[in-house]
Chain A
Amino acid sequence: MTGETKSDAAESRRAQLLKGLAELALLSVLKECPHYGLEILDRLRAEAGLNLAEGTIYPLLHRLEKAGLTKAEWRIEEAGARPRKYYALTDEGRAELVEQQAEWSRVSASLGAFLERGGE
């Protein structure tokens, strides 16, 4: 296996692992205040370390909006600026975030303990 192939395989494993966490991280970003798509993507990349592709965020936002977990509105912040679509959590979205966060804490704690176990 060449160095490049090893690096591709590691990247693929990482992508698979992070894909499932994107929804939880996205809901968490929206917990504080409404954000627009690009802002959410940049925060997930910079703060959560999720290396999401540019075109990944909107299908996810679309799905969450359809599921009633988020609500969206178009805003024009300055005269002449392009409008941006802002997303905010609904009550249902907040409840879902609490549930997903609890599930993640449970899974990560038990998996962490399993992976860090002694040399049996």
Chain B
Amino acid sequence: MTYANSNPEVEAWLRKLGWALSRMPSPEREGIVDETRAHMYERLARGLTPAQAVEGFGRPDAYARKFMDEMDLSGALGSQRGGDLLGAIARRVHRSLIALVAFVAVLCLFCLAAGGAVAMVMEVVDPVHTGLWVGEAGFFIGTNDDLSRAKDIAGDKIYVVGAVLIAASYVFGRLILLGAVRALARR
């Protein structure tokens, strides 16, 4: 929507807003730009200068981010796919403590699941040195070169232990991601 009495400063700001919203579906993006345009021109009609009218909205990219954030979070909650949830969290790690904590927790769970998977593979390759070990250093899963320093408590049940680790990491990781995205969406 453009008008004969358009203001170049306002239109330049709105053009940048449109660019910043480019990841958004077209009708939604145009709706936001048109509504912001209507608001700014009404402010101009009430006596504000173009600089004052755009200043109230801040930088176009920062303003766009408020809509993009909401779209990102509601999209992730709608799909509930692990990749979408993790992506929404990863994009906020640098600016949200909730996202940072959730990301680190999920990373730890991923490492635990990876350890379980590696142990299952290594059990086939080197069953003597692979297991769930208890020693001076505490619990660990994987391969152990010095059998005198730790005892394998899983034996041939290492496959079960590995599968439980992977399943539990997936379930807890998903719960953490869902909880974090919901918490961010409420803010």
Contacts and interface: CB of A to CB of B under 8 A. Distances in A.
A13 interface: no
Contacts of A53: 56, 58
Nearest to B36: A58
B interface, size bucket = 20 to 34
B70 A54 contact: no
Contacts of B74: 66
Contact of A38 (B42, B63, B67): B42
Contact of A55 (B1, B37, B57, B70): B57
A66 B57 CA distance: 21
Given A54-B57, A85-B38, A63 B70 contact: yes
A82 interface: yes
Instruction: Say whether chain A's binding surface is mostly helix, strand, loop, or mixed.
Output: helix
Interface residues of A, number: 15
Contacts of A58: 32, 35-36, 39
B43 interface: yes
Interface in B8-30: none
B66 interface: yes
B159 interface: no
Nearest to B40: A54
A38 B39 contact: yes
Contacts of B34: 83, 85
Nearest to B42: A38
A110 B74 CA distance: 33
Contacts of B42: 38, 82
A85 B37 CA distance: 11
A55 B58 contact: yes
A94 interface: no
Contacts of B37: 82
Given A38-B43, A66-B70, A85 B56 contact: no
Counting from the closest, the 9 A-B pairs by CB-CB distance are A54-B56, A55-B57, A59-B66, A85-B35, A82-B38, A55-B63, A38-B39, A63-B70, A38-B42
Interface of B: 1, 3, 31-32, 34-39, 41-43, 56-58, 63, 66-67, 70, 74
28 contacts: A36-B38, A37-B39, A38-B38, A53-B56, A53-B58, A55-B56, A55-B57, A55-B58, A55-B63, A55-B66, A58-B35, A58-B36, A59-B66, A59-B67, A62-B32, A62-B67, A63-B70, A66-B70, A82-B37, A82-B38, A82-B42, A83-B1, A83-B34, A83-B38, A85-B31, A85-B34, A85-B35, A85-B38
